[in-house]
Amino acid sequence: MEFMIDLWGFLKERKKFWLLPIIATLLIFGGLIVLTSGTAIAPFIYTLF
């Protein structure tokens, strides 16, 4: 949780709010890959990359 507080402080102090959508997208794709790594959906996800 400390990492999230530090990240928010960095974004707020340096006015880098445009990074939030990029970080959110990476987290969503990372979670999707981790959650579906052992299922039949995995080959379809890997074709996106």
Q: What is the pLDDT of residues 13-49, one digit of tens each?
A: 999 899 999 999 999 988 887 877 766 766 776 677 6
Label residues 7-43 b or e (16+ Cβ within 10 Å = b). eeeeeeeeeeeeeeeeeeeeeeeeeeeeeeeeeeeee
More confident site: 1 or 23: 23
> What is the pTM for the complete model shown?
0.63
Instruction: Report the pLDDT value the prediction gives residue 5, as an integer from 0 to 100.
Output: 93
